[in-house]
Amino acid sequence: MFRKGSARDCWMHDSTPARRIVAVSGWIAQSRNSRNYDRHEKDPSDDAAPWMKSMKSNVWRSRLCVFALVFVSGFTAIAQSPARLTGKIAYIQEGNIWVQVLTEGIRRQLSQGGQAYHPQWSASGHWLSFNQSEKVNVIPIDLFGRNDTITLEADRSAWSPKLDEIAFVDHGALAVLRLEPVIRQKRIVFRQPAPGNIADFEWNPDGTSLAVATTSDGPDRITRLWYVNADGSSSREISFVRPLYSPHFEFAGWSSDGERILLWVGGFSASLAADGLPLVSVSVTSGDLQPVANDIPARVTQARGPGSAVLQYKEYIAVSPFGNRVLVISGFNRNAWTNKRLIAFNTATGNIRVLTDADKAVASCAWSPDGNAIAFAAGPDDREAGGGERAKRALAQRRIWIMNADGQQRRQLTADAKYRDEYPLWSRDGQHIVFMRMDTQNRISVWSVGVYDGTLLKLVDQIMGPAATDSWFGYYGHVAWPGFIAFSQ
């Protein structure tokens, strides 16, 4: 039985390790005073000696409790400290591909001749692909005894999210090449319908199938949607009711359950598409179509049809690893410093939740690995900026933020006025966020920040080569970061 004021009370009422240690320090002082009183003032023949013996016993018992308390508190503090960030970063430096292993701090150049872009890691992180001179190069990384480079005669490719196999268009057909455990002969999984060509393709979340877009020849150029098994065993067309004046579409992603495909739909006008296209969700079984939102200005609604105006950037879409939630940076206008709010769309119910306020313009977003938190980059919304120094000032205030999946408990992770922070990428354990930083001289570096303790660490000194005077602008304030960096753990 513990008495009031004992070590157990310190433990119960001072819940954090730091407060527990402070409380215990004061209690130790109390114990020391009791010991001194016992040593100097007790008379062996005193009638109170039995009581003092009992007190001495309690003092020593409490000291053991204190020892256990401090030990457990220290253990708790150690357990709560963030793990060291591990993994590999592939990035572009002066037109070539470099890789840096974070635990080693040694960088390695993988390409020559420049013009390399869009690094992508395989599911295991053992292979890296990148585009160069209208071809796709695939290189083994950290595989013992492997130094062969595979060149694919294709201008685009996509890795399976589950296996080390890569899809690409090969002489008009969609092919898949398996690389592990051994390199196998490529398999053809889909042949284009004649006349026409394969315009786009996207893996589903479990890697068992792909969505394929084909475009017919001729004046109409209608884009068709297909569901293709990854083993090539079968394919079928998905018919859906298209929004008015929307003969064309591009893939934005899949829902995490593999039941719906996200599409940007619209015409063939690049000028109209630059301000955003409607984003819709299509069922792979029934072809049922749902608009993701309805925020297109009335003056363009007839020309575009229903749906949300979303810029055609993949980093504007983030699919939750669990459930049916999709993050979308929604808002008409090509200027990335205004009218860009983060919404959460439920692909099963069609419900929409707005997560950020109108005074913030969101630049990119990412789900945590457990789907319970959201990281995003945002700066102030400046509707009056048309470009120039005013737009640059707004973009320079972009910071990394984090919040719960429901938009609550929002907090800012970075705050250095010397940098513009963008493109958050979560570590696998959810304890770190890797992100891009641009300084006032337009030099770009790669950093990480601790989610719980805010510790900042520079990972790569500089990427993309010498800073250009207008590199801050990108395309109306948007920098296509996936074309320059990829992170794998």
pLDDT tens-digit profile of 247-258? Answer: 788 999 999 999
pLDDT of residue 145: 54
* 14 found inside a domain: yes
Number of domain units in the chain:
1
The percentage of the chain sitting over the pLDDT mark of 90, rounded to a whole number, equals: 64
476 inside domain: no
| CA dist list (Å): 366 to 32, 188, 195, 277, 317 | 54, 33, 39, 21, 8
pLDDT given at position 244: 58
* 38 is a domain residue: yes
Q: Which of 139-153, 229-243, 313-327, 454-468 has the lowest mean pLDDT?
A: 139-153
How far, in Å, CA of 190 to CA of 202, rounded? 13
In degrees, rounded to 5, the angle at the alpha carbon of residue 380 between the alpha carbons of residues 375 and 384 is 145
Pairwise CA distance, residues 410 & 403, whole Å: 4
For residue 313, pLDDT over 70 is answered with yes
Q: Provide the edge-to-edge strand list for the sheet that holds 360-367.
A: 360-367, 373-380, 399-404, 411-412
Both tokens of 476, joined, read 């109306």
**Does 45 map to a domain?**
yes
pLDDT band at 355 (very low <50, low <70, confident <90, very high): very high
Residue 29 maps to a domain? yes
Whether 275 maps to a domain, the answer reads no
pTM as predicted: 0.80
Q: Which of 34-43, 182-191, 362-371 shows the lowest per-residue confidence on average (mean pLDDT)?
A: 34-43
What pLDDT does residue 93 have? Answer: 95
HEC secondary structure over the chain: CCCCCCHHHHHHHCCCHHHHHHHHHHHHHHHHHHHHHHHHHCCCCCCCHHHHHHHHHHHHHHHHHHHHHHHHHHHHHHHHCCCCCCCEEEEEECCEEEEEECCCCEEEECCCCCCEEEEEECCCCCEEEEEECCEEEEEECCCCCCCCCEEECCCCEEECCCCCEEEEEECCEEEEEECCCCCCCCEEEEECCCCCEEEEEEECCCCCEEEEEEECCCCCCCEEEEEEECCCCCEEEECCCCCCCCCEEEEEEECCCCCEEEEEEECCCHHHHCCCEEEEEEECCCCCEEECCCCCCHHHHHHHCCCEEECCCHHHEEECCCCCEEEEEECCCCCCCCCCEEEEEECCCCCEEECCCCCEEEEEEEECCCCCEEEEEEEECCCCCCCHHHHHHHHHCCEEEEEECCCCCCEECCCCCCEEEEEEEECCCCCEEEEEEEECCCCEEEEEEECCCCCEEEEEEEECCCCCCCCCCCECCECCHHHCEEEEC
Q: 73 in a domain, yes or no?
A: yes
- Tell me which residue range forms the domain holding 46: 7-80
Model confidence at 446, pLDDT cuts 50, 70, 90, reads very high
pLDDT for residue 467 is more than 80: no
pLDDT in tens, 263-283: 998 876 788 889 999 999 999
Q: Given a cut of 70, is residue 10 above it in pLDDT?
A: no
User: For all residues of the chain together, what is the average pLDDT?
Assistant: 82
